């Protein structure tokens, strides 16, 4: 009697285990084969015996034991479920589904049969049908494995919102499965929710997921949140670490000038750190290079940024965003000639749209003007003006620069355009006044 009840408990436990788990069990047990498999179970073939054989991982034996009984219509629901599971382990999905259909015909509200049927449909890519079974199963029994499958089905059907809700439910009940949190992270990332994506991806990492994909997704989540380098701390470090070395989890950004032995170290929760991890996993990853270039540019290290950007710019066509990053790098390096060449580059080599190009010209002009190179600044601004002829800031800068160089005719033209284009500007009276003075007088350089 005691043995029987123990076996019943074991059977319940086995049924409750997900297929993957039981597969692992099967892997641990001696592999069943037709040669080495024990001869069919004793003729008695009762349920306890079937459970015992199933627990040993002898699925073929279970099929041999319960199959005829099922064919004969004498198997009870529990036995049919064990049989279906055994079929599943043996890769006979159709047989398993047939058995499960027979179970559902008898008991449509059997949660396990519904869940298994849903799983089979999902594995076959029949997500809509799978959804029907799984939703029913989930209504009957709030099982995290079913919720996870439901989430996957919704995701496959392009319903990320519902997928997220179910995956979150699965994750709340069982945090150990990193695939749930990874998928959730991916969904959040696709929805542009960087902070949530970061949270789920870190949970996946903590649950043991280690893959290049995880680093890539994490890096993207950080990039989305503008955490190119994240928080930076001043740390005292041993030895003489170089920029880019990962020390105590953070990335060394460089020495702090004037203080011996102290370094700027950025947090590991940033794109720069993930970029290095991704690069280690995938040495040819352009995504990793992009993260690193963006990170180093944010950290002000243009040499390392250029080093990582170079391979990106050599690809044809360059990845999206690389051209803009390159332009920003050139601007930071004050290499205005190269910046001009970049902005004038044809689309095949990664040109920027007109508005962005105009902005870069404008920023270059502002920097040149600050250095006292006003003529060059005017040249840059003229290029910006060609790209965005109605830009207020560009026209104002041009007008002021011409005025400062005593080029009154040009200044007057720009002021006239400003007055025409921005009749409701806050300082319209001042603009009109300047225009009037310029029109009335010769000279007027300030």
Partner 1 sequence: MTAPRRLQILSVAVVAGLHLAAGIAQPAGPLVTATPGVAGATEAAAEAALKNCQLEQSLRLWREILAADPIHERARFVVTGLTAQALDLDSHLAVIQTLIEQKATDDVHPLLDAASRRAATDTQKARILYLRGRLARELSQPGRARANFEAAGKLFGDSDWAGRSAIALAEMDQAESVPARARRLLSAVGENRQLSASVREEAALKLLLMDSSGWTSRRQVAALGELLGDTTDDAVKRRILSEIVRSCLAAQGQWTPEAVEAAGAILDGDPPHAPAGSILNKLSSVAARSQDPSVLDALLKVLAEVKLKDAPLARRAALARADALISRAVVDDDAATVKRRLAGAGEALDRLAAADPTPADTEQIRRLRGRALLAEAQKLIALSGPAEALPAVTKAKAHYLAALPADPAGALAQLQNIGRLLEHVGQWHTAIDLYRQIARQFPHMAEAADALLRVAEIYEQRLNAPTAALEVYAEYAGRYPAELPYRQLDVGRRLRRLGYANVLDFQKRNGLDPDGAFGPNTRRKLEQLEESFDVIRLASPGRDTGVIRGRFVHPTMFAIARRLQVQGRHHDAIRAHLLLLNLFPTKKQADDALLAVARGLRDNLLFEEALGAYTELIEYFPKGNATSAAYVEAAACLENLGRWKQAGELYELYLKKFPRYRHAGLCAARIKLLDEVQQYQEFLAANGAAAKAPEAQYQIGVILYKRLGNHTKAAVELAKVADNYPKHVRAADGLFTAGAAHLRTENFPAARAVFAKLAADYPQSRLADDAQYWIGHTHEYAARALGKLDARRIVLRRRAGRQRESLLADMQLRRRYHPQARPGEQMPDSVWTTDALGVLTSGSKRDRVNAELFRAIAAYRAVVAKFKMGDMAGKALHRVGEIYTNYLNDPEKGFQAYQELLTNYPGTTQAVNALYEVGAYRLHNKDFAQAVKCYRQFVYNYPTDKRAQDAMLAIARCHMESKAYDKALDAYQSYLSKFPAGRGADFAKAQITWIRTYHY
**Is 119 or 277 the residue whose CB approaches partner 1 more closely?**
277
Q: Which residue has the tokens 């297929």?
A: 19
Q: How far is the CB of 180 from partner 1 (least distance, A)?
A: 13
HSE-up of 158 (CA within 13 Å, CB side)? 0
- DSSP assignments along 236-285, one per residue: E-SS-PPTT-EETTEEEEEEPTTSTTEEEEE-SSSHHHHHHHHHHH-TT-
**Is 63 or 253 the residue whose CB approaches partner 1 more closely?**
253
Q: What is the CA radius of gyration of the chain?
A: 34
Start-to-end C-alpha separation, the chain: 107
Distance CA 348, CA 322 (A): 12
Q: How far is the CB of 392 from partner 1 (least distance, A)?
A: 9
Distance CA 17, CA 107 (A): 21
**Is 113 or 266 the residue whose CB approaches partner 1 more closely?**
266
Q: What DSSP designation does 342 have?
A: H
**Is 231 or 433 the residue whose CB approaches partner 1 more closely?**
231
**Is 371 or 439 the residue whose CB approaches partner 1 more closely?**
371
Q: How far is the CB of 206 from partner 1 (least distance, A)?
A: 5
Q: Which residue has the tokens 């959804």?
A: 131
Q: How far is the CB of 386 from partner 1 (least distance, A)?
A: 20
Distance CA 129, CA 103 (A): 17
Distance CA 400, CA 413 (A): 11
**Is 162 or 282 the residue whose CB approaches partner 1 more closely?**
162
Six token digits for residue 25: 């069990």
Q: How far is the CB of 371 from partner 1 (least distance, A)?
A: 6
Q: Which residue has the tokens 């170290």?
A: 265
Six token digits for residue 71: 């064919």
**Is 85 or 396 the residue whose CB approaches partner 1 more closely?**
396
**Is 90 or 400 the residue whose CB approaches partner 1 more closely?**
400
Q: How far is the CB of 161 from partner 1 (least distance, A)?
A: 5
Nearest-CA neighbor of 331 among 352, 347, 311? 352
Distance CA 291, CA 276 (A): 9
Q: Which residue has the tokens 């009749």?
A: 423
Quick one: how far is CA 70 from the chain centroid?
47
Nearest-CA neighbor of 15 among 72, 71, 62, 73? 62
Q: How far is the CB of 300 from partner 1 (least distance, A)?
A: 4
**Is 203 or 323 the residue whose CB approaches partner 1 more closely?**
203
Q: How many CB atoms lie within 10 A of CB 351?
A: 18
Q: Residues in the site for partner 1, rule: CB under 8 A?
A: 158, 161-162, 164-165, 175-176, 190-196, 199, 202-203, 206-207, 222, 224-235, 248-250, 253, 256-259, 264, 267-270, 298-300, 363, 366-367, 369-372, 374, 393, 400-401, 404, 420, 423-424, 446
Question: C-alpha distances in angstroms, 4 versus 24, 46, 47, 51, 85?
Answer: 25, 11, 10, 11, 21
Q: How far is the CB of 192 from partner 1 (least distance, A)?
A: 5
**Is 239 or 320 the residue whose CB approaches partner 1 more closely?**
320
Q: How far is the CB of 112 from partner 1 (least distance, A)?
A: 27
Q: How far is the CB of 275 from partner 1 (least distance, A)?
A: 15
């Amino acid at each position: 009697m005691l043995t029987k009840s123990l076996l019943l408990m074991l059977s319940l436990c086995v049924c409750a285990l997900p297929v993957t788990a039981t597969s692992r069990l099967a892997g641990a047990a001696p592999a069943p084969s037709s040669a080495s498999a024990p001869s069919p179970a004793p003729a008695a073939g009762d349920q306890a015996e079937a459970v015992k054989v199933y627990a040993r991982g002898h699925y073929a034996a279970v099929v041999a034991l319960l199959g005829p009984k099922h064919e004969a219509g004498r198997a009870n629901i529990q036995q049919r479920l064990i049989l279906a599971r055994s079929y599943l382990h043996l890769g006979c999905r159709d047989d398993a589904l047939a058995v499960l259909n027979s179970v559902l015909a008898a008991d449509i509200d059997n949660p396990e049969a519904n869940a298994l049927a849903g799983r089979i449909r999902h594995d076959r890519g029949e997500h809509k049908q799978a959804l029907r079974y799984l939703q029913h199963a989930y209504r009957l029994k709030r099982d995290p494995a079913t919720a996870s499958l439901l989430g996957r089905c919704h995701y496959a059907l392009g319903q990320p919102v519902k997928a997220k809700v179910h995956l979150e439910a699965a994750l709340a009940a069982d945090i150990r499965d990193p695939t749930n949190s990874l998928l959730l992270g991916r969904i959040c990332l696709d929805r542009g929710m960087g902070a949530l994506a970061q949270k789920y991806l870190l949970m996946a990492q903590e649950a043991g997921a280690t893959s290049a994909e995880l680093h890539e997704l994490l890096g993207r989540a950080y990039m989305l949140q503008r955490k190119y380098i994240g928080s930076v701390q001043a740390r005292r470090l041993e030895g003489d670490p170089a920029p880019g070395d990962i020390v105590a989890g953070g990335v060394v950004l460089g020495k702090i000038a004037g203080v011996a032995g102290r370094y700027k170290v950025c947090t590991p929760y940033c794109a720069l750190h993930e970029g290095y991890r991704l690069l280690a996993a995938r040495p040819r990853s352009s995504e990793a290079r992009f993260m690193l270039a963006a990170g180093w540019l944010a950290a002000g290290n243009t040499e390392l940024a250029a080093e990582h950007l170079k391979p990106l710019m050599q690809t044809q066509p360059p990845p999206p965003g690389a051209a803009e990053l390159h332009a920003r790098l050139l601007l930071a390096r004050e290499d205005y000639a190269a910046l001009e060449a970049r902005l004038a580059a044809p689309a095949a080599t990664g040109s920027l749209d007109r508005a962005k190009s105009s902005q870069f010209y404008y920023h270059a002009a502002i920097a040149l003007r600050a250095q006292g190179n006003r003529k060059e600044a005017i040249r840059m601004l003229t290029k910006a003006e060609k790209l965005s002829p109605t830009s207020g800031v560009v026209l104002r800068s041009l007008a002021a620069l011409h005025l400062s160089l005593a080029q009154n005719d040009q200044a007057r033209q720009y002021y006239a355009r400003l007055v025409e284009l921005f009749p409701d500007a806050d300082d319209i009276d001042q603009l009109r006044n300047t225009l009037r003075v310029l029109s009335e007088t010769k000279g007027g350089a300030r």
